[in-house]
Structure 1
């Protein structure tokens, strides 16, 4: 049987290093997702129509901002407030449950993005698949609204159970002669069931994501065979669209699997083994994954790349304007003579 020695407290140096990494991850995630949000929101302010992909990216960037904020609060709770030997505080449980719900919402939104990529890039031959691709493109706003409403319902269910728990806990403690260990076990089971509920509800979008990504891979292989047979030019827009879409989806799959494994490992580390260092490592991994995917989304979007180029040109021109008045004194003297 696997046994781990619980690490209830950590040194000041470990806490400082963990906080520094958490601040760095929070800053990178905040900048990347705020950039995606502001670029698309500026089009809304200018009353320019947003494409379906831009709508999904706008919603996804908002959820990622909340996700990074919750993970940063988790890091602060771990280093300053939550002790492993004590029962989990209500604030820490609230942060964990909110993170699970927002992470599930992020998965649903990325699944919508994969469906959009699939409907735009893959050339279907079957009538039903053609109708389905057209339906996805037309109903993306309704899909986003349904995802947000289902996440709100999930939040109400989880927090309804969470806020009704103290009444049951107080009654149980009176019956068990104020047994704090019994209270601790109830808290563990409730948190575990909330975790299980959220991840079971994440199975349908993950399966849809895998199917749409698989269709993109099959379409790419078919397109490569067609290119070899007809000896087309290597610079093919359809091939580039396939590669960009798969780059975004495969990177999300890798990041999501790593984040899911870290979250899965953190549950026994937090509830059973009380290893604070192990939980810190898992939180750091979970915070790094959304930032990495946001960077790949920026690199794969021509609109976002153009916005970066515009910002860089503006910064370069502003620096030239500031350096302009500082001319060489020799040129000034020669000009006066």
Structure 2
């Protein structure tokens, strides 16, 4: 029997999921329409892939969490555990792959360095996702065997309870090996964010030396990109904390409140960053404004018809 607090958490999780699906669905729809009307663009592909992967991530987090809350015995039959584990591995790493590609794309488009390596990368900006895709495939090759081993190690002996019979250090090493790809991509995002801050600092110094007292277009672009990147880093850390809380639930399976708190925390990342992307992207922001105006017009028409 669920308590009032449990009900509140479930309501919050469902609300977050709806917002996440709507926000990411809007991003994917706008970019797909733009690609059909005009032409294929790398930024449109990255944003569409990011939106789709995050919608899948939301559904996976919610499905897995609700199964643990309402029907934990389902995991005891069939291969549901293996399916969810492998699917989560693919979706989770794909999501951060798209986010990292977006971070590098913003960095190479906006930052201003005279370094030879930076100029070389800038001239080959459309090839960067291909390189990162290779890194993603290598990450999957490393992660799948470790996932299979962890499933076998952590499965129940007597088909009734979970057991954790490994030391903390061994478990930590296994988690690091399992998430090598995530760590690599997240590190790249951190590096691009720091380099973008350095680029903004150098640009502001140059503007001050030229006695320019207003913020130019380049400064505005730097600030918008930094907001997107910094918010991604903060929300992803929050997401990682939520996943850690969910994993700790297996050591105390009777504490469902801990699991629901972890789900609530982890879902903030895929829905929260989607709205930050909408507000930070001029095309998405204009499209959202037009959509809201059309909704208001429809409401007015319906109210006039009702009267």
Matched, 1:71 2:61: yes
Shift of 1:159: 6.8
Q: Among residues 85, 97, 108, which one is paired with 2:97 in the alignment?
A: 108
Question: Which structure has the larger Rg?
Answer: 1
The residue number in structure 2 matching 1:331 is none
Matched, 1:134 2:114: no
Q: Among residues 247, 251, 267, which one is paired with 1:271 in the alignment?
A: 251
Counterparts in 2 of 1:317 and 1:87: CA distance versus 1, 3 Å: closer
Unaligned runs of 5+ in 1: 1-9, 174-178, 328-337
Moved more, 216-225 or 36-45: 36-45
Matched, 1:17 2:8: yes
Q: Among residues 52, 71, 92, which one is paired with 1:62 in the alignment?
A: 52
CA contact (8 A) 2:111 2:196 kept: yes
Normalising by structure 2, we get a TM-score of: 0.83
Aligned with 2:179: secondary structure? helix
CA offsets per residue over residues 16-41 of structure 1, 9 Å max, x none?
A: 22221121111010000000011111
Unaligned runs of 5+ in 2: none
Q: Distance in 2 between matches of 1:128 and 1:61?
A: 30
Q: Among residues 185, 195, 202, which one is paired with 1:205 in the alignment?
A: 185
CA offsets per residue over residues 103-124 of structure 1, 9 Å max, x none?
A: 2221121111111111111112
Q: Among residues 23, 33, 36, which one is paired with 1:32 in the alignment?
A: 23
Counterparts in 2 of 1:77 and 1:89: CA distance versus 1, 3 Å: farther
Moved more, 90-99 or 20-29: 90-99
Query: How many equivalent residue pairs?
Result: 305
Normalising by structure 1, we get a TM-score of: 0.77
Shift of 1:129: 1.6
Shift of 1:52: 2.1
Counterparts in 2 of 1:324 and 1:24: CA distance versus 1, 3 Å: closer
The residue number in structure 2 matching 1:334 is none
The residue number in structure 1 matching 2:212 is 232
CA contact (8 A) 1:101 1:151 kept: no
CA contact (8 A) 2:97 2:136 kept: no
Shift of 1:55: 1.4
Moved more, 73-82 or 299-308: 73-82
